[in-house]
Amino acid sequence: MKWNWRGVVATSAVCVSLSLAAQQVKPANAQLASPEIERRVNALLKQMTLEEKIGQLVQYNDMGQNVLPSADNKQVADNPDAKLGIDPLKLAGNGGIGSMLNIVGAQKTHIYQQAAMEKSRLHIPLLFGADVIHGYRTIYPVPLGLASTWDTALVRDLSAMSAAEATTGGIRWFYSPMVDVARDARWGRIVEGAGEDPYLGSAMARAYIDGYQGTNLGDTSHVAASVKHFAAYGAAEGGREYNTTDMSLSRMHQVYLPPYRAAVQEGAATMMSAFNSLNGVPSTANPYIMTDLLRKTWGFDGFVVSDYSAVMELTHHGVALTAADATKKALEAGVEVDMMSHYYDAELPTLVKSGKVPMSVVDEAVRRVLRVKFALGLFEHPYASGTEVTRALDEHRPLVRKAAEESFVLLKNDHDVLPLAANAKKIALIGPLANDGMQMIGSWGGANHKGDTITLKDAMEARASKSGATLTYAKGVEIKSTDESGFAAALDAARGADVVVMALGEDAMMSGEAGARAHLDLPGAQQQLMEQIAALGKPTVLVLFSGRPLVLTWAAKHVDAILQAWFPGTEAGNALANVLYGDASPSGRLTVSFPYTVGQEPLYYAQFPTGRPTGDADLSVPPGPNSRFLSRYIDAPNDALYPFGYGLSYTTFSFSDVKLSSDKLMLKDVQHAGHITATATVTNTGKRAGSEVVQCYVRNRGASMEQPMRELKGFRRVELAAGESKTVSFDLGFDELSFWNNEGKQVIEPTEYTVFVGGDSRADHQAMFHIVQ
């Protein structure tokens, strides 16, 4: 069920605004709010003891360390819960747990579920969750790469595919999507999201939810999504994992909250609280974001699960002195399920019996958990269904290959080195990432099978054998090693080649959780290897694998072509070969800004203006006075090396005729869904077909608060034949033209707007209009 944010606004004499108090909405998910589900939830709740209620709020782990539970319920000694004297199988049988994570495979989930369904008094099924971030068995590009497709339909289809695979193993709950806006490439978890922009992030969030949950959560091929990490975790100071976040109310609502809100609007069944504190209050004990905002304002009616041991960590944050304090604060703030702290089951019985935590609070938490279980149809279909998927599926490979092809971003292509020419009969393939299938999976690789992934070496050897070309492979160096003993073989291979393809980048585990980096250069001795290869003067292509933007300043000057490949997944090699040889044209566009140097971080296109602009970050801002006293670095550019939205193709595109449906919009009309329509013509000016992402940016000047120099407010992915033109339109209404002030109101004022349309965030084709009273 979707609701119209634009339709509930109030006017005043000077602006149209949407305050937090005015944003009351209908329930965000009709499936969870159905009268039949509510009847069943209430009937079951009346039968439950306190211990059974608390059990629904407790989650236990497996971590893949223990073998299948034996008939006598014994666990192996290295199970972390076993070390605490905990037997999850026994708890499942007496109603002591409500959900489990990292229990992978139909056989395992069946054993635990059978205990819950056959031995527990009320036969309440367990909910099995897992970190399925970019595929279960058939793996597609990491989310940052997937976002680079700007293809929401593709994201939806891939999400549905991964849900269909995982449910055959009993998994009905994904800890995904991560919708944190991330503007600091040092933060390792930037790989898990859609990048730096809230508009694009919101579009991707909706696509993930649609794919995972479908229109019927009760369909056994669908899963409940858990949107994370609520809230604003992507703004952790210094890009350091688990670190604090502090920002104005305006920035929080305008930049960091929109993707979460979009996910709730799309019907997300669950949310996950973040590790960080937000404006001084840890998210896991933050009633403002989890109760006032999420539930009362946005109408969220699912449940919130803590991140791993986050309830316990409230004592580390210093806001709780004891386990009981942490339990009370987290539950009353709105965290229904305690993931792996083991605090709720240990502390809640005493807290409730002593009256320190009202039974009504526990009942509401349990009601939300049961609501999701009933909506998923777990009571009717508790076990995995269908034939279990244990390897990457051949029928799914074309889709993940298409995703990989669309995710690659061509950053540079001097002298048309790409696609590889037919007369390139001697090719040198060099680098540690050319023949490592597990690296191609990236962080959070699902339950992938090691032998399923096609490497770049695999695919290029197959190509060479068919075309009569010669491929010479040399690893050159290990990813993180400074040992240069392999350089000689790599240089020999390059000297004898017509063209050199270098596969360099990060180790997959250098990004993701706990993957914060203070330096964004190529690790180990890879930079030195690249410099020596480039010095030979051979046409050289850099294929870059990473989970974040890296510093490519040297490569941008000295390497002929750069293809950003992220971590592409199961079909990595085939997808790369298709693009390198020109069977597919690169069409990915950056969703994060690439810096000249790490000292520019955090770096993003939607910068605020200053009183002393330099003019290099936005074409609409004239240069400041020719003096030292400007808002700039003295030793690096302000702007990105490669900006948000940027990407090349094997053809070229031009933009023209940016027009608006009017030069003004009445302020009062915004209340009634009034809007301006912007149109522009995009033309394929090259000699082959290609895809362009047409991007619409807006700047608001004259408002009561300073606004970014431009913000993305629309995009269209367009397929064009050689010489073909298309007209693309964007409707700009309340959502696109408003901003959030520091009183918690979304407002629109009589101001001046500039609309930019083009192929990246530096778009300079523009038109202007005013909102008038």
Residues assigned a catalytic role = 307
160, 213 contact by CB (below 8 A): no
The torsion angle over the Cα atoms of residues 191, 195, 199 and 200, rounded to 10 degrees, is -60
280, 5 contact by CB (below 8 A): no
What span, in angstroms and rounded, lies between the C-alpha atoms of 295 and 287? 10
Q: Six-digit token pair at 498?
A: 């017509």
Measured from the Cβ of residue 178, the count of other Cβ atoms closer than 10 Å reads 28
Give Cβ neighbours of residue 228 (< 8 Å, ≥ 6 apart): 175, 176, 177, 178, 179, 180, 271, 272, 274, 307
C-alpha distance from residue 399 to each of 22, 284, 573, 690, 730 (Å):
43, 37, 14, 19, 29
State whether the Cα torsion 227-231-235-239 is positive or negative: negative
What span, in angstroms and rounded, lies between the C-alpha atoms of 477 and 81? 41
543, 501 contact by CB (below 8 A): yes
Which amino acid, 568? Answer: P
What span, in angstroms and rounded, lies between the C-alpha atoms of 42 and 328? 24
722, 689 contact by CB (below 8 A): yes
Measured from the Cβ of residue 280, the count of other Cβ atoms closer than 10 Å reads 11
148, 407 contact by CB (below 8 A): yes
What span, in angstroms and rounded, lies between the C-alpha atoms of 58 and 99? 7
